[in-house]
Amino acid sequence: DGGITQSPKYLFRKEGQNVTLSCEQNLNHDAMYWYRQDPGQGLRLIYYSQIVNDFQKGDIAEGYSVSREKKESFPLTVTSAQKNPTAFYLCASRDRERLTQYFGPGTRLLVL
């Protein structure tokens, strides 16, 4: 069953704590993306990676970090420097042939 998986579905963070959101894809896509969505808003790009061991900042990268050690995986760390981390986080990968991005089910992060 091919697709994009994100875990966990819900994540709780304490003040001052770093948390890592998982994103895995078995679609053999080169490019992967992280977006953030706040209530009633569209998606905003945090980071993207077009190839293994390379990634670029998106529009709202401050307070976040990523790694891309494997083609299948693109984890996002929400650091303590992100002052307003409560949001819905979405991972996507790009099909270069079909010129489209496909999204995972999302992780909802809540701050305790």
Partner 1 sequence: DAKTTQPPSMDCAEGRAANLPCNHSTISGNEYVYWYRQIHSQGPQYIIHGLKNNETNEMASLIITEDRKSSTLILPHATLRDTAVYYCIGGSNYKLTFGKGTLLTVNP
Q: Which residues bind partner 1 (CB under 8 A)?
A: 4, 31, 35, 40-45, 48, 50, 88, 90, 92, 94, 99-106, 108
Report, in Å, the least distance between residue 100 CB and partner 1: 5
Quick one: which H or E segment has residue 99? none
Report, in Å, the least distance between residue 89 CB and partner 1: 10
Report, in Å, the least distance between residue 80 CB and partner 1: 26
12 versus 17: smaller Cβ distance to partner 1:
12
DSSP state of 106: -
9 versus 14: smaller Cβ distance to partner 1:
9
67 versus 102: smaller Cβ distance to partner 1:
102
If DSSP codes are grouped into helix, strand and coil, which group holds residue 39? Answer: coil
**Residue environment code for 46-82, b if the CB has 16+ CB neighbours within 10 A, otherwise e:** bbbbeeeeebeebeebeebbbebeebbebbbebeeeb
